[in-house]
Structure 1
Amino acid sequence: METFNVVIADDHPIVLLGVRELVERDRRFNVVGEAVCPDGLIELLKSQAVDLLITDFNMPGDSPYGDGLKLVEFVTRHFPEVKVLVLTMISNPLILTRLQELGVLAVIQKSQLHVEIEVALKAIAKGNRVRSKGPAPTSVLNDGADLDERFSRLSPKEHEILRLFVQGQGVNEIARGLNRSAKTISTQKISAMRKLEVNSDQELLAYCIERNLFK
């Protein structure tokens, strides 16, 4: 019987425990490590053979590997042999589409954790494609020569807010992480949108993701 070495990464101990319990119900999967931060995750992937990574999308912390899209891109680029399942509460189609483009097997909504992980593990064990409830391909902004010039108008604070926004954080979460008020973060985000000449969160994400501005 083929077995799979699994690493689980999530900054919430209760989620780690719950996912481990779900994974270990199937004898074909062996949990060989757990991580609560991006640094710990990368060390695990470097130090042992891993077949499957089940990771949270957001793991706050000051890490050179980042979190969100930046972390997933690092993993898929440097550990291409590792299959990746992403856990998230995010439903934004642009972020989900980008995860698919990075080669993630499936994006599992935490609200459907028990059912979706079981389905995904069964498919992986059989060598089948994991059926993902991902979004249809999304349209992108028309490319233009002045897009980079617009981006250069951003202040350092606006740049940081957009980076966190693209990683999937909302205004309130960004405010807590940066120890600023939600009103300040919202104002700076709106200012950045004006400078970039975008009119909605969807356009803002499209601008940043399609231009790979926060690798």
Structure 2
Amino acid sequence: MEKLKVIIADDHPIVLLGVRELMERDERFEIVGEAVCSRDLVQLLETRHVDLIITDYNMPGSSPYGDGLKLVEYIKRNFPHPQILILTVISNSLILARLHELGVVGVIQKNQLHEEIQLALRAIAQKSAHRSHTSLIRSVPESNVAIDERISTLSPKEFEILRLFVSGKSVSDIARTQNRSSKTISAQKISAMRKLDVQSDLDLLTYCIGRNLFN
């Protein structure tokens, strides 16, 4: 049986070591490269034939390829053959749903790495997708309905503030155009993010841009 060629990408040495040890005990897979940042990962993909990428969602550095959704979208666009298995501590249903839409083969929560990765590798070897019992299986089936419901809870002002923010304007820029104080705009932005269950500006930007919410 021909082994599936794998690249592992994670900036945490312990995680990298743990995944490597698990993979080396599975004769169905062969590790052909390791990366600690997205730039290294893309360089490996440019020079090696790969069947599976196991990568952390959050990667360090200022690589032009970014990390998270931006990196997954880049890989899917430029290297369509490899399957992608995501390792993460993120449980936000918006982000998990978008990863599913992009076609990742599975998402594994890092605090359940040892329990989940064996199941994921078995599913991948059998050419099927892995659905984590604690992440995608809970968020994806209702993702579109849940997202639409959350967006519908935004007030017109909150929606407009998010639209301007995603377009590249800062809170102070928005405050000037809306003739409001920066404190007021910031409070409305935070309220909108809370309704969408988004924890950071990066998650907000990558998700909204990825789904073309404001186009």
Normalised-by-shorter TM-score class = 0.7 to 0.9
> Compared with structure 1, are the counterparts of its residues 195 and 139 closer, same or farther at alpha carbon in structure 2 (3 Å cutoff)?
closer
Q: Deviations over 1:137-185 (max 9, x none)?
A: 13232599995675336754789xxxxxxxxxxxxxxxxxxxxxxxxxx
Residue in 2 that maps onto 1:121: 121
CA distance in 1, matches of 2:61, 2:131: 31
Aligned residues: 186
* SS in structure 2 of the partner of residue 8 of structure 1: strand
* SS in structure 1 of the partner of residue 192 of structure 2: coil
- Where in structure 2 are there 5+ consecutive unaligned residues? 174-181
Q: Percent identity?
A: 48
Residue in 1 that maps onto 2:147: 139
> Compared with structure 1, are the counterparts of its residues 111 and 196 closer, same or farther at alpha carbon in structure 2 (3 Å cutoff)?
closer
Deviation at 1:63, TM superposition (A): 1.1
CA distance in 1, matches of 2:87, 2:52: 13
Letter of the 1:104 counterpart: V
> Compared with structure 1, are the counterparts of its residues 125 and 62 closer, same or farther at alpha carbon in structure 2 (3 Å cutoff)?
same
Deviation at 1:98, TM superposition (A): 0.8
- Where in structure 1 are there 5+ consecutive unaligned residues? 160-187
Q: Deviations over 1:77-118 (max 9, x none)?
A: 211111000000111111111110111111001111112111
> Compared with structure 1, are the counterparts of its residues 37 and 201 closer, same or farther at alpha carbon in structure 2 (3 Å cutoff)?
farther
* SS in structure 2 of the partner of residue 80 of structure 1: coil
Instruction: Identify the range of structure 1 (147-156 vs 113-122) with the bigger mean alpha-carbon deviation.
Output: 147-156
Bigger Rg over Cα: 2
Residue in 2 that maps onto 1:198: 192
CA distance in 2, matches of 1:7, 1:189: 45
Letter of the 1:139 counterpart: I
> Compared with structure 1, are the counterparts of its residues 149 and 100 closer, same or farther at alpha carbon in structure 2 (3 Å cutoff)?
same
* SS in structure 2 of the partner of residue 20 of structure 1: helix
> Compared with structure 1, are the counterparts of its residues 39 and 211 closer, same or farther at alpha carbon in structure 2 (3 Å cutoff)?
closer
Contact 2:92 2:197 (C-alpha < 8 Å) held by counterparts? no
Contact 2:58 2:68 (C-alpha < 8 Å) held by counterparts? yes
Residue in 1 that maps onto 2:112: 112
Contact 2:116 2:132 (C-alpha < 8 Å) held by counterparts? no
Taking structure 2 as the reference length, the TM-score comes to 0.74
Contact 2:6 2:53 (C-alpha < 8 Å) held by counterparts? yes
Contact 1:51 1:81 (C-alpha < 8 Å) held by counterparts? yes
* SS in structure 1 of the partner of residue 115 of structure 2: helix
Q: Does 1:151 align with 2:145?
A: no
Deviation at 1:189, TM superposition (A): 9.9
> Compared with structure 1, are the counterparts of its residues 110 and 194 closer, same or farther at alpha carbon in structure 2 (3 Å cutoff)?
same
